[in-house]
C-alpha cells in the first residue's frame, strides 16, 4: 500500500508492505500521480516500512528516481534498505532514455509489395530447384543402381500404404456424392442410366486423381516440408553438404520417385472405390450392378483411365517437388518449419488445380 | 579468500537466511523415470532459501528430468516434492499452476516464443498476470534485460539470437514475475568462456541482491565451482544421489571413485583401475 501527502513545501510518498509484480500496478500509478501533482516541489519517498520488493518493485523505485524534474524538485528515497538501494543504484537512467523500438505494422500496399517480391524470389528459387531436380532425376535414370531404393520404399510405404484408408474413404464418398447429385437431376429427365457415364468419366479422369492428390498434399507434402525443414534447422542439411553429398540427391530424389510412383496407385484405388460407391447409389435408382457395369464399359475408355493415371503421377511429382523445396527453403527456428509446412500444402493444392486445368485443356 | 571458504560463507549465510521457514524446495523419497525405466530412486534433499544448489552428473543421468519433476511438468512415480512447504505432486491443478508460477524456469534452449521479439518475450508474463501499464512493463522488462546484459538485443527476434543470448533472455523472462526460486537447465552449456562467466556472475548478483534461490542443472565444472553453495551428484547406474556437499569438498575429500572421476575429468579406464 502506498500513501501520498503534502507537508509544507514538500510532498511525500510512503511505501509500505510488499511491492511485487502482482501488487505494483496501482502503487506505481499513484506515485506517478503524486509526482505529476507536485511538479515543482521536492518529493520524499519514505521506504521505512517497505518489507519486500522484487524486480518490478526495483523498476518502480528506479522509475521514480529517473523522472525529469527541476533541480529544486528532485525525488529522494529515504530509509531504503542498503540491499535494495544498491540494486536500484545499479541502473543508469541514461540507458533507458530511448523508448523501446515498436515493431512497425506493415501497411496493405507494403504487404502486397513484399508478397509480390517474395513470389518473384520464390519463382526464381523454384526454377533453380527444378533444374537441380531434373539433373538428379537424369542421374537416377542413367544409374538406377545408385538410387537408395530402401529409402524410397520406406517413403512410399509412409506416403502410400499408410494413406490407403483415407484415400479409400474419400474416393468412396466422392463416388456416392457424384452419383447421388447427378442422379437426382437426371431422374427428372428420365436419363438416370447416363449417371453411370458421368460417374465413370468423372472418377477416372478428374475426381480420383484430384482428390487423391489433395489428400497426399495435406499428408505427405506437409510431412516432406516438415521433415526436411527440421533437418535444415538442425543443420543436418549442412552436414550432408559438407560430406560432399548432394542434398537434392540424398533427400529430395527418393521423395520425388516415391511420390510419383505412389500417387497413381492411390488414384487407382480411389477410382475403383469411387465407381463402386456410385454403383451402390445407382441401385437406389433401380440400376443394378450388371446394368451399371455394362453401361460403364461403353461410357469410359482406356484413354480416360490413362489420362487420370498420368495426371496423378504429375500431381505426385508436383507435391514432392514443392514439399521438398519448401523444406530446403526453411529459415531458422520452429516457426519457420510451420510456415514452410503451411506454404507447401497451400502451394501444392494451387499447383494441382493448375496442372489439372492444363491437362483438361490439352486432353479434351 | 579461496574458493572453498567463499562457498562455505555463502552456504552458511544462505542457511542463516532460511531461518525457520520451510526450505525453498524439498524433495522427499522421490522415484522418477519414464514408463518402466527408473532414473532416480528414493532421492531426498532440501534447497534452502537463498542457496545455489547444483545438480550434476554425466549425460543421461536424469538431471533435466529431475528438474522437470521439481517444476511439476512430470509426475513422479513415488515420493513428494514441496515448494515452500506445499506439495506440487499431490495437489489440485489450480494450486499446482500457482506453485508453478512461483518458479522461474530457464530451459536448455531458452524456449523463447518465436513470434515475439526479445522484449516482448520478457514482457510476456507481465502482460499475462499483472495490471501494470505498458510503460511500466517495458521499463521492468528492459531492466531485466539489462541485468543479463541483453539490453542491446531487445528488438531482435529469437531466430536472430545466438545460444548464449537465448539463454540469457530466457533467464530475464524467468525473473519477470519476481519469482525468488529460479531453476536453470544447463545455463552455460555450449557458451564461450566469457559469456559463461558473465552468466555465472549474473546468478551470483541476483542471489546477492535479491536473495534468489537457484537450482542449476549443469556439468560445467568451472560454473559449478563459481556459483554453487552445494551440489548433489546423480548416478545413472545406481539410480541414486551418490554425493552431496560443497563442490570443493566433493572434489578434494570424497572417496567415491565416480565423484572423483567427475571432478578430475578422468576417462573411464582410470576409474576401473582405481576400483581394482
ipTM: 0.77
In a domain, A48, yes or no: yes
Question: Quick one: three-class SS letters along A156-189?
Answer: HHHHCHHHHHHHHHHHHHHHHHHHHHHHHHHHHC
* Whether pLDDT at B11 is above 50: no
User: With an 8 Å Cβ cutoff, is A230 touching chain B?
Assistant: no
**One domain for residues B128 and B258:** no
* Whether pLDDT at B48 is above 60: yes
Lowest mean pLDDT among A1-10, A167-176, A237-246, B172-181: A1-10
User: With an 8 Å Cβ cutoff, is B142 touching chain A?
Assistant: yes
Q: Which domain holds residue B122?
A: 106-178
Q: Three-class SS of residue A139?
A: helix
Provide the number of CB pairs (under 8 Å) joining chain A to chain B.
Answer: 89
**One domain for residues A72 and A198:** no
Looking up cell 523498476, which residue turns up?
A59
Whether B147 and B173 have beta carbons less than 8 Å apart is answered as no
CA A185/CA B31 separation, integer angstroms: 69
pLDDT at A167: 95
**One domain for residues A183 and A294:** yes
**One domain for residues B95 and B134:** no
CA B180/CA B183 separation, integer angstroms: 10
CA A110/CA A115 separation, integer angstroms: 8
Inter-chain contact A57–B178, Cβ cutoff 8 Å?
Answer: yes
pLDDT at A72: 86
pLDDT band with cut points at 50, 70 and 90 for residue B226: very high
Inter-chain contact B130–A57, Cβ cutoff 8 Å?
Answer: no
In a domain, B139, yes or no: yes
Q: Which of A96, A124, A159 is the last residue of a domain?
A: A96
User: With an 8 Å Cβ cutoff, is A61 touching chain B?
Assistant: no
* Whether pLDDT at A136 is above 50: yes
Residue of chain A with shortest Cα separation from B176: A55
pLDDT at B275: 57
Task: Give me the percent of chain B exceeding a pLDDT of 70.
Answer: 90
pLDDT band with cut points at 50, 70 and 90 for residue B17: very low
Q: Three-class SS of residue A37?
A: helix
CA B105/CA B197 separation, integer angstroms: 20
CATH number at residue A57: 3.30.750.24
**One domain for residues A78 and A143:** no
Return the CA Rg of chain A.
35
In a domain, A109, yes or no: no
Task: Give me the percent of chain A exceeding a pLDDT of 90.
Answer: 57
Whether A22 and B130 have beta carbons less than 8 Å apart is answered as yes
Nearest Cα neighbor of A325 from A116, A114, A57, A132 is A132
Q: Mean pLDDT across the stretch B94-101?
A: 88
Give tens-digit pLDDT for A61-73. Answer: 999 999 988 888 8
* Whether pLDDT at A255 is above 70: yes
For residue B236, CA distances in Å to A78, A271, B254 come to 54, 56, 18
In a domain, B58, yes or no: yes
Whether B133 and B145 have beta carbons less than 8 Å apart is answered as no
* Whether pLDDT at B1 is above 50: no
Q: How far is A236 from chain B (nearest CA, A)?
A: 18
pLDDT at B10: 38
Interface test with B, best of A55, A80, A86 (most B CBs within 10 A): A55
- Measured between beta carbons, the chain B residues lying within 8 angstroms of A28 are 132-133, 136
**One domain for residues A198 and A315:** yes
Whether B143 and A58 have beta carbons less than 8 Å apart is answered as yes
**One domain for residues A139 and A274:** yes
Interface test with A, best of B178, B181, B204 (most A CBs within 10 A): B178
Nearest Cα neighbor of A101 from B262, B94, B127, B120 is B120
pLDDT band with cut points at 50, 70 and 90 for residue B270: low
In a domain, B193, yes or no: no
pLDDT at B266: 79
**One domain for residues A184 and A245:** yes
**One domain for residues A293 and A223:** yes
Q: What dihedral do alpha carbons A188, A193, A194, A199 form, nearest 10°?
A: 110
Whether A319 and A259 have beta carbons less than 8 Å apart is answered as yes
Nearest Cα neighbor of A268 from A217, A313, A220, A218 is A313
* Whether pLDDT at B274 is above 80: no
In a domain, B200, yes or no: no
In a domain, A107, yes or no: no
* Whether pLDDT at B260 is above 90: no
Inter-chain contact B115–A87, Cβ cutoff 8 Å?
Answer: no
Residues A276, A277, A281: CA angle, nearest 5 degrees: 115
Counted domains in chain A? 2
User: Would you tell me which residues 296-325 of chain A have a C-beta closer than 8 angstroms to some C-beta of chain B?
Assistant: none
Q: How far is B97 from chain A (nearest CA, A)?
A: 16
pLDDT band with cut points at 50, 70 and 90 for residue A146: confident
In a domain, A120, yes or no: yes
CATH number at residue B26: 3.40.50.300
Q: Which domain holds residue A240?
A: 115-363
Lowest mean pLDDT among A101-105, A157-161, B153-157: A101-105
Counted domains in chain B? 2
Question: Integer distance in angstroms from the first to the last C-alpha of chain A?
Answer: 82
Give tens-digit pLDDT for A213-233. Answer: 999 999 999 999 999 999 988
Give tens-digit pLDDT for A189-216. Answer: 888 999 999 999 999 999 999 999 999 9
Inter-chain contact B130–A22, Cβ cutoff 8 Å?
Answer: yes
In a domain, B54, yes or no: yes
**One domain for residues A119 and A90:** no
pLDDT at B123: 94
Residue of chain B with shortest Cα separation from A54: B178
Q: How far is A233 from chain B (nearest CA, A)?
A: 11
Q: Mean pLDDT across the stretch A281-298?
A: 92
**One domain for residues A122 and A79:** no
Amino acid at each position: 500500500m502506498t500513501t501520498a501527502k503534502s507537508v509544507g513545501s514538500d510532498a511525500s510518498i510512503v511505501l509500505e508492505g510488499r511491492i511485487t509484480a502482482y501488487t505494483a500496478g496501482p502503487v506505481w500509478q499513484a506515485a506517478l500521480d503524486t509526482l505529476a501533482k507536485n511538479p515543482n516541489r521536492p518529493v520524499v519517498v519514505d521506504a521505512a516500512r517497505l518489507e519486500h520488493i522484487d524486480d518490478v518493485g526495483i523498476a518502480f523505485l528506479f522509475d521514480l528516481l529517473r523522472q525529469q524534474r527541476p533541480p529544486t524538485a528532485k525525488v529522494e528515497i529515504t530509509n531504503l534498505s542498503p540491499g535494495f538501494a544498491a540494486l536500484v543504484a545499479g541502473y543508469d537512467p541514461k540507458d533507458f532514455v530511448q523508448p523501446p523500438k515498436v515493431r512497425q505494422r506493415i501497411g496493405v500496399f507494403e504487404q502486397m509489395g513484399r508478397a509480390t517480391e517474395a513470389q518473384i524470389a520464390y519463382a526464381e528459387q523454384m526454377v533453380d530447384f527444378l533444374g537441380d531436380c531434373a539433373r538428379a532425376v537424369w542421374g537416377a535414370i542413367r544409374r538406377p543402381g545408385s538410387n537408395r531404393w530402401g529409402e524410397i520404399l520406406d517413403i512410399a510405404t509412409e506416403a502410400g500404404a499408410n494413406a490407403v484408408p483415407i484415400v479409400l474413404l474419400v474416393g468412396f464418398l466422392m463416388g456416392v456424392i457424384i452419383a447421388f447429385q447427378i442422379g437426382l437431376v437426371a431422374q427428372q429427365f428420365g436419363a438416370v442410366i447416363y449417371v453411370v457415364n458421368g460417374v465413370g468419366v468423372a472418377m477416372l479422369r478428374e475426381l480420383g486423381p484430384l482428390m487423391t492428390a489433395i489428400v497426399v498434399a495435406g499428408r505427405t507434402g506437409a510431412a516432406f516440408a516438415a521433415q526436411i525443414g527440421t533437418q535444415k534447422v538442425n543443420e543436418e542439411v549442412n552436414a550432408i553438404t559438407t560430406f560432399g553429398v548432394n542434398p537434392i540427391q540424398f533427400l529430395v530424389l527418393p521423395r520425388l520417385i516415391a511420390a510419383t510412383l505412389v500417387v497413381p496407385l492411390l488414384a487407382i484405388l480411389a477410382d475403383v472405390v469411387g465407381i463402386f460407391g456410385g454403383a451402390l447409389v445407382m441401385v437406389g435408382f433401380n440400376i443394378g450392378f450388371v446394368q451399371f457395369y455394362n453401361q460403364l464399359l461403353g461410357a469410359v475408355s482406356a484413354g480416360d483411365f490413362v489420362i487420370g493415371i498420368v495426371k496423378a503421377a504429375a500431381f505426385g511429382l508436383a507435391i514432392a517437388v514443392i514439399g521438398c523445396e519448401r523444406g530446403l527453403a526453411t529459415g531458422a527456428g520452429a516457426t519457420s518449419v510451420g510456415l514452410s509446412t503451411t506454404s507447401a500444402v497451400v502451394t501444392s493444392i494451387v499447383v494441382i488445380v493448375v496442372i489439372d486445368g492444363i491437362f483438361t485443356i490439352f486432353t479434351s | 579468500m579461496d574458493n572453498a571458504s567463499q562457498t562455505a560463507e555463502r552456504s552458511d549465510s544462505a542457511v542463516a537466511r532460511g531461518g525457520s521457514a520451510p526450505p525453498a524446495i524439498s524433495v522427499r523419497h522421490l522415484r522418477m523415470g519414464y514408463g518402466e525405466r527408473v532414473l532416480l530412486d528414493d532421492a531426498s534433499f532440501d534447497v534452502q532459501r537463498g542457496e545455489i544448489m547444483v545438480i550434476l552428473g554425466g549425460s543421461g543421468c536424469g538431471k533435466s528430468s529431475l528438474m522437470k519433476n521439481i517444476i511439476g511438468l512430470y509426475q513422479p512415480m513415488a515420493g513428494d516434492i514441496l515448494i515452500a512447504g506445499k506439495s506440487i505432486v499431490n495437489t489440485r491443478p489450480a494450486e499446482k499452476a500457482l506453485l508453478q508460477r512461483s518458479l522461474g524456469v530457464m530451459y536448455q534452449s531458452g524456449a523463447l516464443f518465436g513470434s515475439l521479439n526479445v522484449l516482448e518475450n520478457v514482457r510476456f508474463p507481465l502482460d499475462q498476470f499483472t495490471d501494470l501499464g505498458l510503460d511500466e512493463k517495458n521499463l521492468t522488462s528492459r531492466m531485466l534485460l539489462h541485468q543479463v546484459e541483453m539490453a542491446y538485443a531487445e528488438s531482435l527476434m529469437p531466430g536472430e539470437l545466438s545460444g548464449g543470448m537465448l539463454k540469457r533472455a530466457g533467464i530475464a523472462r524467468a525473473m519477470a514475475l519476481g519469482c525468488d526460486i529460479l531453476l536453470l537447465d544447463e545455463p552455460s552449456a555450449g557458451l564461450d568462456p566469457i559469456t559463461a562467466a558473465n552468466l555465472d556472475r549474473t546468478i551470483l548478483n541476483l542471489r546477492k541482491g535479491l536473495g534468489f534461490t537457484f537450482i542449476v542443472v549443469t556439468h560445467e565444472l568451472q560454473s559449478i565451482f563459481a556459483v554453487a553453495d552445494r551440489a548433489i551428484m546423480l548416478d545413472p547406474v545406481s539410480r541414486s544421489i551418490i554425493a552431496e556437499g560443497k563442490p570443493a569438498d566433493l572434489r578434494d575429500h570424497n572417496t567415491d571413485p565416480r565423484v572423483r572421476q567427475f571432478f578430475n575429468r578422468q576417462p573411464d579406464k582410470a576409474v576401473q583401475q582405481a576400483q581394482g
